Structure 1
Amino acid sequence: MRQRRARLLGARAEDLAQRHLEAAGLRCLDRNIHCRGGELDLIMTDADCLVFVEVRKRSRDDYGAAAESVTASKRRRLVRAARYYLHRHGAHERPCRFDVVTIDGRGDIAWLRDAFRADE
C-alpha cells in the first residue's frame, strides 16, 4: 500500500512538473523510461535541445532539500539511462541537457536548468 501511494504521489509530481515546463514552452516526448540501472522521469524538447528531467518531490524539509537528493550516484544512473535513450532513439548527435524540477510540501516549483553535466 505504501509503495502504491508513493507511485501515485510521484506521478502527480511529474504531472505538475510537466505542466510547468510546457507552460514555459517545452514539449514532452516521453515519460517514465526505464532501463537497467536507471529511470528518466520526463524527456522533453526545448527548441532543438533534448532535455532529461528529474522530478523530485519533498513533502517535508527535515529530510533535506529535494535538489540535494540528486546525489552523484543518482546523476550517474540518470546519465546511464539518458545514454540508453539516445542509443535506442538514434539521437546521439542531438544537444542534450539535464534539468531538475523540485516541488516542496507547499507545491512550490523550482526548475534547475542544466543542473549537471554528463561528465560530472
Structure 2
Amino acid sequence: MIAREGSKASGFRAEGVAARYLQRRGVRILEHNVYSRGGEIDLVGMDGDVLVFFEVRYRGRSSFTGSAESITYRKQQRLVRAASFYLHRNGLWNVSSRIDVVAMAPGTIKQYRIQWIKNAIQASP
C-alpha cells in the first residue's frame, strides 16, 4: 500500500518543479518561501528587470477546481499584502513588480501540466 503524500510535501515538490520551469524560461529565482506578517510568497524572482512574486498552485487529479481557480479573493488580498510588505521591508518601492501564478496539475504526456499566468493578481486602486 502506498501512503498518500502530504499536502505540505507535495507543495514543496511543486515549488521546486515550478522554480526549475521558470529558470529554464530565464527567470532568476531570488528566494523561496518568504514568510512575513503579510503572508507567504512561494517564490520571488527577476524576470528581466521586473521583480516577480510567484504563487505556485498544484491540484491533483481528484480536485474539483483547477489550480489557478483555487486562488480565492481572500488569498489574492494576502498575496498583495505580502508583496507590499516585501517591497517595503527591502526598500524596493520604485522597482517594477508583479504577481504571477504558476498553475500545475498532473500531465498526461509529461509528469506535470504547467501554466504560467503573468500579472495574474493585481492590487486594487
Settle same-fold status: TM greater than 0.5: yes
Query: Which residue does 1:64 correspond to in 2?
Result: 65
Q: 2:117 aligns with which of 105, 112, 118?
A: 112
Query: Which residue does 1:21 correspond to in 2?
Result: 22
Q: In angstroms, what is the RMSD of aligned CA positions? A: 1.7
Identity %: 44
Query: Which residue does 1:80 correspond to in 2?
Result: 81
**Greater fraction helix:** 1
In the aligned structure 1, how far is the partner of 2:38 from the partner of 2:8? 18
Query: Which residue does 1:34 correspond to in 2?
Result: 35
Q: With structure 1 as the length reference, what TM-score do the two structures score?
A: 0.91
In the aligned structure 2, how far is the partner of 1:53 from the partner of 1:118? 15
Poorly superposed stretches of 4+, deviation over 3 Å: none
In the aligned structure 2, how far is the partner of 1:53 from the partner of 1:37? 15
CA offset at residue 77 of structure 1?
A: 0.2
Q: Which amino acid aligns with 1:44?
A: G
The answer to whether the Cα contact below 8 Å between 2:38 and 2:85 also exists between their aligned partners in 1 is no
CA offset at residue 37 of structure 1?
A: 4.3
Unaligned runs of 5+ in 1: none
CA offset at residue 61 of structure 1?
A: 5.1
CA offset at residue 63 of structure 1?
A: 1.8
Larger Rg: 2
